[in-house]
Amino acid sequence: MTNSNIAAPRFMLMGGGAVAQIAELLGKFGLSRPLIVSDKVMVGTGLIDKCLAPLTAAGIAHTVFSDTVSDPTDTVIEAGVKIIRAGNFDCLIGFGGGSPMDTAKAMAILATGGGKMRDYKVPVSADCADLPIIAIPTTAGTGSEATRFTVITDTERDEKMLIAGLGVLPLAAIVDHELTFTVPARTTADTGVDSLTHALEAYVSKRATPFSDALAVSAMALIGRHLRAAYAEPRNAAAREGMMLGANQAGLAFSNSSVALVHGMSRPIGAHFHVPHGLSNAMLLPAVTRFSISGAPARYAEAARRIGLASDGDADGGACTRLVGGLEALNTTLAVPTPAAFGIKEDAWNAKMDLMAEQALASGSPANNPRVPSKDEIVALYREVWTGAARNAR
Ligand SMILES: NC(=O)c1ccc[n+]([C@@H]2O[C@H](COP(=O)([O-])OP(=O)(O)OC[C@H]3O[C@@H](n4cnc5c(N)ncnc54)[C@H](O)[C@@H]3O)[C@@H](O)[C@H]2O)c1
Ligand SMILES: [Fe+2]
């Protein structure tokens, strides 16, 4: 076995209602001056009070930066860094979906090293951050509470940049599924497919390790079992808990392996057409999986069995066929639109395919795919996703 580098938060508090212990968690690390990074929905719906009330009760003064946007931008990070510099904070609490957590991570990096956000994108290793991050996810989810990644949009270049390193790995996380009861069905579906994609890509990645495999396999089983129920029944506690655990394990899995071609192709769609991250993954997942299977058929077959799309008795070939069909059926159940139904114009899509393929390759993620695509193959996949060729070919 080759050596592998394993990284995870120092501490994770898991379970329904766990967010009530935020003050005790800060106390464990001697922290007492948090800047809470969140978004307008968390503040507007009052969900953030689940974090603020226990801090107030413990006499911990706090400031909230709630200007985070979905798919956070470099300009929002710069605004957040100004708040850090104007205050006297000893930690950042990212409270919300992947966007607020990723914003907090990027703020810590930029506040420490200065410069521009793009100075830190891969292959740079963003290892230094003076402020520790406590991450509290409210979607299930990106797994960002447990990953050494943040994804920030470069607004000048319309590019979703991957930033990786120990500086963006949270010190601690609170993983409380009760915070996800209010997630709307569309976002439940999109974030759930994101976590499924993390687990599947971690498992088939060229960088998979025995450590990431164990987490990916467990995550695929949890997400395969609970995603549909979480989508259909928002207050189904068992389904929400299963999804939260699955998303967290999927995050740990890909953070210690990698994502691959789906994510590589998904980020440019998000940057150019403002499709939510999980939704662009879902649009790509069946076609990219079908393209990739020949690179690791045994792994894809095992993934199909773990997700519950094939049975233990299915031979690899049959299990792989069921995987692609099952992912398409999942998209139908979760009402995933085609790019056209989402509102993207065909001319605009075609005009960007070349650039998107270049940006996908430059991110490095396609190189981890079991079947490494050429630029032309990526363009063909974008075309296929537009026409629904994977669907029609069945
Ligand atoms: N750092 C990583 O490892 C990693 C991994 C995958 C994705 N990402 C990034 O994370 C971002 C996406 O995160 P996301 O999918 O969680 O979406 P998000 O954070 O943008 O949230 C989506 C929407 O759901 C709302 N929401 C969140 N929690 C809610 C709740 N409990 N109740 C009601 N509404 C709620 C938000 O306010 C927002 O409007 C993207 O920028 C993506 O690139 C990061
Ligand atoms: Fe993702």
- In the chain, which ranges are continuous DSSP H helix? 22-28, 40-44, 49-57, 74-86, 98-113, 185-204, 210-232, 237-255, 261-273, 277-292, 297-307, 316-333, 339-342, 346-362, 375-387, 389-392
* DSSP states of 189-255: HHHHHHHHHHHHHHHHSTT--HHHHHHHHHHHHHHHHHHHHHHH-TT-HHHHHHHHHHHHHHHHHHH
pLDDT category, 391, cuts 50, 70, 90?
A: low
The C-alpha angle 280, 281, 286, rounded to 5 degrees, equals 115
Measured between alpha carbons, how far is 360 from 230 in angstroms, rounded to an integer?
31
**Strand pairing report for 172-175 and 133-137:** parallel
Atom of ligand 1 nearest to the CA of 40: 37
CB atoms within 10 A of CB 314: 17
Given pLDDT bands bounded at 50, 70 and 90, which one contains residue 186? very high
Per-residue pLDDT averaged across 242-270, rounded? 97
| pLDDT of 1 over the 80 cut | no
Report how far ligand 1's centroid is from the alpha carbon of 97 (Å).
3
Question: Considering the chain, what percentage of its residues have pLDDT values greater than 70?
Answer: 98
**How confident is residue 393, by pLDDT bands cut at 50, 70 and 90?**
very low
- Percentage of the chain beyond pLDDT 90 is 94
Atom of ligand 1 nearest to the CA of 69: 20
Q: Taking 60 as the threshold, does the pLDDT of residue 115 lie above it?
A: yes
Tens digits of residue pLDDT in 360-381 = 999 899 999 999 999 999 999 9
State the average pLDDT over residues 146-152: 96
Question: Which atom of ligand 1 is nearest to 267's Cα?
Answer: 43
Q: Measuring CA to CA, which residue among 282, 381, 388, 372 is closest to residue 335?
A: 282
57: confidence class by pLDDT, cuts 50, 70, 90: very high
280 lines ligand 1 (CB under 6 A): no
Q: Is the pLDDT of residue 87 over 50?
A: yes
Mean pLDDT of the chain: 96
pLDDT in tens, 216-225: 999 999 999 9
Q: Give the mean pLDDT of 115-128.
A: 96
Is the pLDDT score of 228 beyond 90?
Answer: yes
**Given this model, what pLDDT does residue 158 score?**
85
Q: Is 47 in the pocket of ligand 1 (CB under 6 A)?
A: yes
Residue 394: its pLDDT value, please? 44
**Ligand 1 contacts CB of residue 182 (under 6 A):** yes
Q: For residues 293 and 71, which has the higher predicted lDDT (pLDDT)?
A: 293
Could you tell me the pTM of the whole model? Answer: 0.96
Preceding peptide of 337 cis, ω within 30° = no
Q: What is the pLDDT of residues 5-49, one digit of tens each?
A: 899 999 999 999 999 999 999 999 999 999 999 999 999 999 999
pLDDT tier at 387, thresholds 50, 70, 90:
confident
pLDDT bin (cut points 50, 70, 90) of residue 3 is: confident
Q: Is the CB of 201 under 6 A from ligand 1?
A: no
Give mean pLDDT, residues 310-329.
97
| HSE, side-chain direction, 13 A CA sphere, residue 197 | 32
Is pLDDT at 205 greater than 50 in this prediction?
A: yes
- Which amino acid residue places its CA nearest to atom 12 of ligand 1? 98
Closest listed ligand to the CA of 260:
2
Q: Is the pLDDT of residue 389 over 60?
A: no
Distance of alpha carbon 241 from alpha carbon 227, whole angstroms: 10
Q: What is the mean pLDDT of residues 139-153?
A: 96
Query: 393: which DSSP letter?
Result: T
Determine the residue of 67, 151, 200, 269 to mutate for testing ligand 1's pocket, defined as the one with the most ligand atoms within 8 A of the Cβ atom. 151
**pLDDT tens sequence across 258-297:** 999 999 999 999 989 999 999 999 999 999 999 999 999 9
Distance (angstroms) between ligand 1 centre and the Cα of 250 equals: 15
User: Which residues make Cβ contacts (< 8 Å) with residue 26, sequence separation at least 6?
Assistant: 32, 34, 55, 60, 91, 134
What is the number of residues in the chain? 394
Q: Whose CA is nearest to atom 7 of ligand 1?
A: 142
Q: Is the pLDDT of residue 315 over 90?
A: yes
pLDDT at 390: 47
